[in-house]
Amino acid sequence: MNDLFSLQGRTALVTGGSRGIGRMIAAGFLAQGAKVYISARKAEACDETARELSALGTCISLPADVSTPEGMHALVAAYAKREPQLDILVNNAGAAWGAAFDEFPEKGWDKVVDLNLKTPFFLTQALAVQLRKAAELRPAKVINIASIDGVTVNPQETYSYSASKAGLIHLTKRMALRLIQDNIVVSAIAPGAFASDMNRDARDHAAEISARIPAGRIGVDDDMAGAAIYLASRAGDYVVGATLVVDGGVSFAR
């Protein structure tokens, strides 16, 4: 049973891995024996996180801005120079934007939808050679990080964010049907309230947010790491196209 959740001998790439949910996942993968590459737009933060996480295992920083095609392809080239295959890709880099309906700007739509929905598809496509190489030995994994805002409606006016995450959940199903033919398993995680720079309410007002969650608390690092390890490991090989909701029950209470 220990081997069921082991990531020993596997390589992983986590976008948006310098902080928040990406960092939680990277730390969990390292603890289970994976070699982890993390990417983030801010090079200094990415490098610092990699140094800190190296206490758990081999963690390598590959700074890149995956919101642009140039940055995305630079990341792929940097990874390909170091590794011939990729066992686990976590599409976590994301953005949010909130504004009233009558004032919501087009730039707020394009920025969020491009990064949250377009990038996961094209980054996976660009890394298909490395994923297929890994899949010759055992199933390779692609894990898209969605959100409960793509499952149920949030009262906040985050139109592009909600739409992009709902789209990502459906895109996960479509990608899964195609890529399972290549022994690549695609799935998703829909997190609820976890403390991060993106979810500042959970970070700064944990007690207030916890009162609205059936589990009575916000998510902690191990909650997210455990879900990602499950999907990335042998334990998740038969979970194809599914979205794992990790939210303490809040999406059912809305």
pLDDT at 211: 82
pLDDT tens track for 53-102: 999 999 999 999 999 999 999 999 999 999 999 999 999 999 999 999 99
Residues facing 142 on adjacent strands: 89, 186
pLDDT at 203: 58
Total domains, the chain: 1
Contact of 80 with 103, CB cutoff 8 Å: no
SS3 state at 12: strand
User: Domain of 72: which CATH number?
Assistant: 3.40.50.720
Q: Is the pLDDT of residue 109 over 60?
A: yes
pTM: 0.95
What separation in angstroms does the CA of 133 have from each of 67, 112, 127, 232?
26, 31, 10, 16
pLDDT tens track for 136-193: 999 999 999 999 999 999 889 999 999 999 999 999 999 999 999 999 999 999 999 8
| Catalytic residue annotation | 161
Report the distance separating Cα 15 and Cα 22, nearest Å: 7
Element at 37 (helix H, strand E) = strand 35-39
The residue segments making up the domain with residue 147 are 3-253
Contact of 126 with 80, CB cutoff 8 Å: no
Report the distance separating Cα 29 and Cα 53, nearest Å: 11
Sign of CA dihedral 16, 229, 52, 205: positive
